[in-house]
Amino acid sequence: MPPDQALRGSFRRSAIVHDWLTIPGGSEKVLMELLDLLPEAEVFTSVYDPARWPGELHKRVVHTSFLDRLPGAHKHYPKLLPLMNMAFESFDLSGFDLVVSSSHSCAKNVLTGPDALHVCYCHTPMRHAWEPRHLAGELGGGSAFAARLMLGRLRRDDLAGASRPDVFVANSTHVAARIRKHYRRDAVVVHPPVDVERHLYRPRREDDYYLVLGRVVPYKKVELAVGACATLGRRVKVVGEGRGLEAARAAAGRDAEFLGFLPDAQVDELLSGARGLLFPGEEDFGIVPVEAQAAGVPVIAYGAGGVRDSVIENETGVFHAEQTVTSVASAILQAESMRFDEYRLRANARRFAPARFRAEVTDVLLEHAPEAAAR
């Protein structure tokens, strides 16, 4: 029986809660798979910018919070963090017997009915609460003092919200460990879905440039990648947009190109031609490195976080030990001295296909459906 049919027989009415729908990224790819798995689910989110999203989402019922009506909310949503908990608690989910929260911030904090099953797919425990430097970076320059003032409240709200899901699902072993540390909760690990088929059979045509791909936000450290390429005199192309663009441009050399948002077809062409993918940020999982391997492209990444679940060191990629320009440059030189097996790269990426994600998430939901029915 297809997963969606099995779930339809176990739950009458379902809701999917996501932190915000602004710039599409890795967590939003998880959301789209969840929507396929639960085709009748209604969506709840704090802020929604429809212009950024494909037609499939336009066909859904999307409920937004009061934050969506504030001027500038679509662009400056990180500055609304003090109000996020209130926004998610304001949703009325009493009519749903299944709630799946896709959460890296406050989505898990929703209040559900006593008989509902609430499963949280956790991309990370809230970085803004547990990593003060991350919070200061998101709020902008000169905001470290404001971040410290907010920290106690954010942690209290986050811990209160962490008690609400019945089940935690983590996107990597790294995130499962952080859930245990911060929330004292166990989590099942289900790696995110990656559209590997899109890349597996595309011919590899290696060119002389490196690629940075994804949202350009402060914690992704794009400035380190372009700075390392400037130091070595290597070409680099940056695909994506976000609040970290100014810092990245300031660190770039003359051989850096900032291409902004591009259609998938153009992204695929650029990826298949790259010498390597540069991934200097610490990610909780990281979908882009899997896509790169599916395209036969080695990954040069900071050796921490979820990338250790998806990249095999010195076989499908190279890790650098520090988040510095010098360390990234050294890793690039190391990768250039190695020979990578394209077929091994692609085979490793196959482990993260969407069918595996749908099957594992379905197993988790069906396993806990009897508990919800008993309640």
Q: Which residue has the tokens 């396929």?
A: 36
* Architecture of the domain spanning 3-193+353-374: 3-Layer(aba) Sandwich (3.40)
Q: Where would I find the H helices in the chain? A: 3-8, 26-37, 55-58, 73-76, 81-89, 127-130, 132-139, 144-162, 173-183, 197-200, 222-232, 245-251, 264-273, 287-294, 307-310, 325-336, 342-349, 354-374
By CB atoms closer than 10 A (0-12, 13-18, 19+), residue 163 is exposed
pLDDT of the residue at 73: 86
Q: How far is CA 108 from the centre of its chain?
A: 15
Which of 3.20.20.140, 3.40.1550.20, 3.40.50.10470, 3.40.50.2000 is the CATH number of 197-351? 3.40.50.2000
What's the confidence (pLDDT) of residue 7?
A: 81
Domains 3-193+353-374 and 197-351 equal at CATH topology level: yes
**Distance, CA of 226 to CA of 180 (rounded, Å):** 35
What pLDDT is attached to residue 373?
Answer: 60
Domain ranges of the chain: 3-193+353-374, 197-351
**Residue 139 · residue 147 · CB < 8 Å:** yes
d(CA 85, CA 102): 15
pLDDT at position 108 is 97
- pLDDT for res 348: 97
252: left (phi over 0), alpha (psi -120 to 50) or beta: beta
Of 228, 249, 306, 230, nearest to 238 by C-alpha is 249
DSSP-derived letter for residue 226 is: H
**Tokens 């450290």 found at:** 221
Burial category of 318 from C-beta neighbours within 10 Å (exposed 0-12, middle 13-18, buried 19 and up)? buried
Say what the pTM is. 0.83
Give pLDDT, residue 365. Answer: 95
195, 354 Cβ separation under 8 angstroms:
yes
Residue 143's pLDDT is: 52
DSSP label at 113? -
Q: What is the pLDDT along the chain (375 residues), one digit of tens a residue?
A: 566 567 877 899 999 999 999 988 778 889 999 999 999 999 999 999 988 887 778 888 899 999 999 999 888 887 888 899 999 999 999 999 999 999 999 999 999 999 999 999 999 999 878 876 665 555 555 555 555 677 888 899 999 999 999 999 999 999 999 999 999 999 999 999 999 999 999 999 999 999 999 989 888 999 999 999 999 999 999 999 998 999 999 999 999 999 999 999 999 999 999 999 999 999 889 999 999 999 999 999 999 999 999 999 999 999 999 999 999 999 999 999 999 999 999 999 999 999 999 999 999 999 998 766 666
Q: Would you list the DSSP string of 137-173? A: HHH-TT-HHHHHHHHHHHHHHHHHHHTS-SEEEESSH
Cβ atoms of 144 and 324 within 8 Å: the answer is: no
Beta bridge partners, 121, equal: 102, 169
